[in-house]
Structure 1
Amino acid sequence: MYQYFKKILSGFLVLVFVMSLSFGVSFSQNQSNPIFSDLPQNHWAYNAVKFMVERGIIIGYPDNTFRPDNPVTRAEFARIMVISLNLPIKVTDEPSFKDVPKDHWAYPYVESAKYYLTGFRTQNGDYFKPSDYAVREDMAVALVKAKGLQNENVDMNILNNYIDKDQISKNLAKYVAIAIAKGIMVGSPVPNSNQYKFEPQGILTRAQAAMLLYNVLNTQLMEEKITYDNNSSTNNNQQNNYSAPNVAAYTKGDKVVLVWNKINDKKLKGYAVVISKNNSSPGYPQDGYFKIFSDRNVNYVEIGVNSKYNNGDFGVYIKSGEEYYFSITAIYEGNVYVKGNAIKMKIPVIPNYFEKPSVKYEYKENKFVLSWRKIEDVRLVGYWIVISKKTKEPKYPNNGYLVFINDKNTTQYIIDNTVPYKGGDFGEFLKDGEEYYFSITAQYQDRVVSGNSVKAVYYSNLEIAKLRPELQAKTVKWWGQWCINLKWERIDNEKLQGYRVVVSESSSSPDINKDGLLAAISDKNITSINVKAKDKYLINGEYKELKKGHYYYITVYAIYSDRIVGGNVVKVKIP
């Protein structure tokens, strides 16, 4: 009886193997029209493919093609074996193959399915050749091992019936002979002779794989009425009907990589990546989650230093050098959660790793607040607040600094324009309504590390934004002469006293005290003026003329009884 069930199981594994042949193609639940546009009824593999499709085992591609002649690479073949046989994911400290390193997409599949695969041994080590196409003798090895026939006695003379027996790789000859003897792979007859051709180095195609497995299914998957022992168990526990993820882990640089077997179950909704500091068997939802994947094909995730976690027992962020328990929970329909095995791993300590500050800004109670994520590092000394008008990624000391904060627990600072800036490219104070780049540089014991930058319009008080003139400029014809029309929105404020129009030929931020006064307007109802060539402006106690064809920077300042607020700057060419 046990041997019978073993045969049924091996047949089932082959069945699942067939299901995986639709690389990246969805599985059919109710395939009403199994005919493919590129697979006519007289195609040699038509019945085999039709057999699979009618039973919902495989379907074609979204464009209603099967693509029977598409080849299969060795890397894809490894992935098929893992998925079809539901193999546990296994990884090693050192990759088994020189050309499949840890960062290769097929690495976990090749390592996990190595028992069913073939390789190439040289004096320099073993190679897998992942981009080469899988060949028929590779299929022979995989099927013989999947069916547990590798130790069968076989008469090797059976290969004498094949004209291409010398093309069979020496170490694979027994597998090919067993496949032939068991009727798994037969080959094709040679015309006008009693011999066959096996084509061991023939590239394996989707159609060939379907036909080979069709032959196995047609001869082995037959019903038989049987009885059960009293000790036979039934699925009394609901979760016995659901597969649990089999998880493996390895390190890559400063990250822990989790890989797990893909579960082919239409009830599966996705996977939750679960981490715990104290629970040696964590599961979702009770132990929180790192990520939830709704894509059932995902079976790989990288977790690095400072990765953010949700509802865990160790805080919000993963820390360098700390040990955690990692697991995957399969999420099924009906709120069924099945957790896989857990693996204890240490987040790598990278001696040369220094965390970069992560900065953002916001207005709190109308104040401009710069904040950043706290850095947990004993080597940290403090933080420099850095601002620039022109440099998109400012850093200390290149772009000066506003203040240095030596309290490592401080993670925000209100910039209220009361502290002069040192060594900047915009003067000592920021100007309301102007855009700047803000950043934080972390000061470590032996180095500085700059973080990201944010671009923001600065106001020492957000209420000032309502007081800022919004200037627009366009070229118009006025009294028969081309000129620049400057226009801004009317400001309704009882403290408003008037406007100053300021111009500069060289400075992109015209200063009311240093640059040219083009117009002084005391009537706050006037919100536009026209300027043209030869109009005069006052600078340093003397008048100069606007020159035709020259570019100028122009802005408008609103004059209030308690403050002066500058507007935006426009660049114009005098017509």
Structure 2
Amino acid sequence: MKKRSFKLLTGLLVMLFIFNLFNLVSFSQEQSTPIFSDLPQNHWAYNAVKFMVERGIITGYPDGTFRPDNPVTRAEFARIMVIALNLPFKVTDNPSFKDVPRDHWAYPYVETAKYFLTGFRTSSGDYFKPSDYAVREDMAVALVKAKGLQNENVDVNILNNYIDREQISKNLTKYVAIAIAKGIMVGSPVPNSNQLKFEPQGILTRAQAAMLLYNVISTQSNEEKVTYDDSSSTGTNQQYNYAAPNVSGYTKGDKVVLVWNKINDRRLKGYAIVVSKNNSQPVYPQDGYLKILGNKDATYIEIGVNSKYNGGDVGAYIKSGEEYYFGVTAIYEGNVYVKGNAVRLKVPVIPDYYEKPSVKYEYKDNKFLLSWQKIDDSRLVGYRVVISKKNKKPKYPESGYLVFINDRSTTQMVIDNTIPYKGGDFGEYLKDGEEYYFSVTAQYQDRLVAGNSVKAEFYSNLEIKALRPKLQAKTIKYFGNWYINLKWDKINNEKLQGYKVVVSDKNSAPDYNKDGIVAIITDKNITSINIRAKDKYFLNGEYKELKKGQYYYFTVYAVYTDKIVGGNVIREKIP
């Protein structure tokens, strides 16, 4: 019995020793291995996730993974946000949302975070949609409010730089604009373009949620952990091991030249060239950008007078004789932006410098509004509003003009098809639903200076857009015969009487008065038609046949009691 007890005790001691040894080994390895098996230390969100995990704000899965690319639901983000920001719980006896009752696991978090997050209002009450995935535009609202920036004044035109601006929910536009202006959320560069993509409806991942909230926490805290070495640098760029550009500059002829070191980092996506009139340390995106360089090997750029600028305090263009701070921001994966130093340089003076208009457009009060900046120059006589259907860079006099404005303080014009165009390539009037190039030419005493052009779909009144048929076409095989299927969206309007399907073999904008009529449809529920070779169309008082193998232009006109509205045009080959 004693021997058996001794053996048992010895066995327990050995097991205890092995257990302690295992813990010691695990502890020593913990210092050099990632916190999760699927989140390497060079992952763009690693430090943010580590920070959040160490404070119990976010956790991994039982199998030792973090699953950084997994989507986050709205309820999950509410919980993470409340814990991360240490928000005091605010709950009431009456739940704010129909779909988050008191017995829902996320109830206290949703109620507490509702002041920061979005909801969905309906005639039957408010809904939170806790199981829906969190999207980027919702996070813009949350983070802007978390930082107390919701009452900041912001120019929503900053969103003009984003190709998916129209996807932003109308009520959230200001919050997204603030988030971008303050550098909280930015988006990603569009390859081979100066524009960006915000992805407002993009689903938030666990890694992104950790990074976004980490950025809020780290900027709210006055405490910073630092290390001391022989370097005199006090910046924070190196805390995540991201290299910053080292910028130098000089003038060459009529240009400013910036040069910086090449950064060898696989996470690097490119560079933003940043300029500021007043900020001695300009950084992208807060101070806008001159150009986004997608070439990671770029280390040099020449900047000339009249270079177009986007955002910031520079204005529309770099001006002759002005002094600016020039900098370069390195753009890394995961929306990490690391600014380099800035150099102050004077743009070379160019004799006879003439400012050109910076043109933009918007629909305001359902009207097409063209606008440009005010040019303060005693030599300025006025402005010519110029439009073209084919010329991507229209200017006066080559492309004609709509009006001449001799009031130099006028910087905008509503284009509503009430004034005939003079000398253009599209006739006297614009057509609703058609795309055109719009520009403004500044007329000086001794020269004409054309501004940039903007391509836009024109509507004299935006309400017409909802009345316009949206045509699609595809080739189908039906009972052994090949057809072109023309299909358009159903229009629900009490004034709608029917549709006219129009065809032309030469006119790229078929006219229902001048070109062939394939069909007249009086049943408002019919929204498609099949056509094939030898089908008839009526033109100039006689019937003609569609020819096999020939291309035709097709469109659909919606006929209303008070107007006829044409749809888009499709060119198809008869099978």
Q: Normalised by the size of structure 1, how large is the TM-score? A: 0.46
**What is the TM-score with the length of structure 2 in the denominator?**
0.46
Rg larger for: 1
